[in-house]
Amino acid sequence: MAQLASSAQPLTGLILSGGGARAAYQVGVLAAIADLLPDAAHNPFPVIVGTSAGAINAVGLACGAMHFTESVRRLTTVWQGFHTDQVYRSDWLGVLRQATRFIGHSLLGLGGDIPVALLDSSPLAELLARELDFSGIAAAVRHRQLRAVAVTAFGYETGQAVTFYQGRATIDPWFRHRRVGVPTRLGLQHLLASASIPLVFPPVKINREYFGDGAVRQPAPISPALHLGANRVLVVGVSGNPNSETRSASEQRPQQVRPPTLAQISGHMLNSTFIDSLESDIELLERLNQMSRLLAPEQRPKGLGLNPVDVLVIAPSQPLDAIAARHRHELPRTLRLFLRGPGATRSSGAGVLSYLLFEPGYCNELIELGYQDAMAQKERLIEFLCLSSPPVPTVVPVPA
C-alpha cells in the first residue's frame, strides 16, 4: 500500500471497478449519493479512480465534477438508454466481418499488424467522444473540486498495470512492481484502452505500446487512490454473488455433472479478472488497518503506509448472473445466435452474458439495485462522507 499524504482533513477516494455492463450498478449507487448530498454541486470525491467500464464512469464524473449531481444525472441517462449497438457492432455484417477477421488472424496469421478481437467496439468510441467533455477535468482541478482522476490499463508489451492520472501538479508518479503511475492529460484513448476486455475488444495503442483492460494485472486496485492522496475510500464493487461463501455445502454441490461450456469457463475467468483482485485487496487493507491500530502513531514505521485507511464497500446484494439470465432475451438476435454455441445464452453461461448485456432492461435493473443497496447503507454513507442534513429522496431515479 502507498504511503498516505499527511493531512488533518479526510480525503475521500472513490474506487469504481471494472465489469462491462455490470458497471450500471455503480450508477445506481452514485445516484443515491447524489440524492443524499445537501449541495447538488458539491463533489464528495476529491480522488476518483476507475478501471475498465468503471474508468468510463470515473472519467464521466470527473468531467462534470464542478456539478456533481448533474454529472450523475447524465451518466444515469446514458446507462438507462444503453443498447448493445452503442457499445459494439451487433448487426449481421459487423459480427460476421469481425468473426472472420478474428479467425483469419488467430488461425491463419492474416493481418498480423491490425489488432483484432471478437467484437468491434468502434460504436463505444463514438459514444464517448459525443458524451464526454474532457476539458471539464482541468477546470475541476483548477477550481479545487477535484484533486485527481485516474484510469488503469494493462500494457501488453511491458506486462505492467499503468495508472494514467490527471490532477494537481504536486502529485508525484510512482513505480512499484508491475504497477506504475503516469501523469497525463486523459483522453478518449485511455478510456478505450482501460475498457478493452482481452480477446473481446481490440487493444488500444497509446504512444508506443498497446494496452488492454486494466483489471488483467492489477493486484492492488485500491493503491492508485492512496498514491493520489486519499486516506479513506468508498469502493463500489460489481461482485456477482456476495453471499456465495455463506451458502451451505449442499447448496454449492452441483446437481448434475456436465462438462462446462466455453461461456461458463469464460465467466469464471472474467470474475477472476474483475472481482477477485479487488476483494483480495480489500481484505489485505483491512488486515493492515487492524495491525496499524495496535500501534501508537509514533510507533508506526515511516514510509510503510501503515496509517489506517477507512474503507466502505457497497456491492450487489443479489447475484448479477441471475439478473442477466432473466434479461438474456434482450440481446440482439445476431448475438444470441453467435453466442449460442459457446453456451452464453444458457443459465450456466449467464456469467459472461452479465458483462456483455448492454440493454435497457438489464442496465435499469442494475441501476435500481445499486440505488437500493446504497440507501440500505444510508446512515453509514452520511457518516463516511461527512454529510449533514441530507434531504430525504421521495422518488427512486429509475422508472419502474
Residues recognised as catalytic? 52, 213
Give Cβ neighbours of residue 197 (< 8 Å, ≥ 6 apart): 20, 52, 212, 213, 270, 355
In this structure, which amino acid lies at residue 69?
T
Q: What are phi and psi of 393, to 5 degrees?
A: -65, 140
**Which DSSP symbol is given to 392?**
-
Query: Strands 232-236 and 310-314, how do they pair?
Result: parallel
Quickly tell me which residue has 440482439 as its cell: 332
Q: What are phi and psi of 350, to 5 degrees?
A: -65, -20
CA–CA distance, 31 with 371 (Å, rounded to integer): 6
* Cβ atoms of residues 318 and 368 within 8 Å: no
User: Which cell is 6 given?
Assistant: 499527511
User: Which cell is 7 given?
Assistant: 493531512
- Within 10 angstroms of residue 98's Cβ, the number of other Cβ atoms is 20
Each as own residue / partner, the long-range contacts of residues 77-80 (CB below 8 Å, 24 or more positions apart, any chain) are 78/127, 78/131, 79/24, 79/27, 79/363, 79/367, 80/360, 80/363, 80/364, 80/367, 80/398, 80/399
* Cβ atoms of residues 352 and 321 within 8 Å: no
CA–CA distance, 163 with 339 (Å, rounded to integer): 33
For residue 321, what is the enclosing H or E element?
helix 320-326
Where in the chain does DSSP place strands (E)? 12-16, 47-51, 148-155, 161-167, 174-176, 179-183, 204-206, 209-213, 232-236, 310-314
In this structure, which amino acid lies at residue 107?
L
User: Which cell is 65 given?
Assistant: 465534477
Q: Which residues pair with 227 in a beta bridge?
A: none
Quickly tell me which residue has 499527511 as its cell: 6
